[in-house]
Amino acid sequence: MADTVVFGSLLYSHIIPPVLAFIGVILLCSGIMDRKTNYAIAGIILFFAAGILPFLILPFVLG
For the stretch 3-30, pLDDT in tens is 777 887 888 889 999 999 999 999 999 9
Pairwise CA distance, residues 7 & 17, whole Å: 15
Looking at residue 62, its pLDDT comes to 82
Residue 36 has phi, psi (to 5 degrees) of: -110, 105
pTM, rounded to two decimals: 0.85
User: What average pLDDT does this structure show over 30-52?
Assistant: 96
Pairwise CA distance, residues 14 & 47, whole Å: 14
Looking at residue 5, its pLDDT comes to 78
Confidence tier at 60 by pLDDT (50, 70, 90): confident
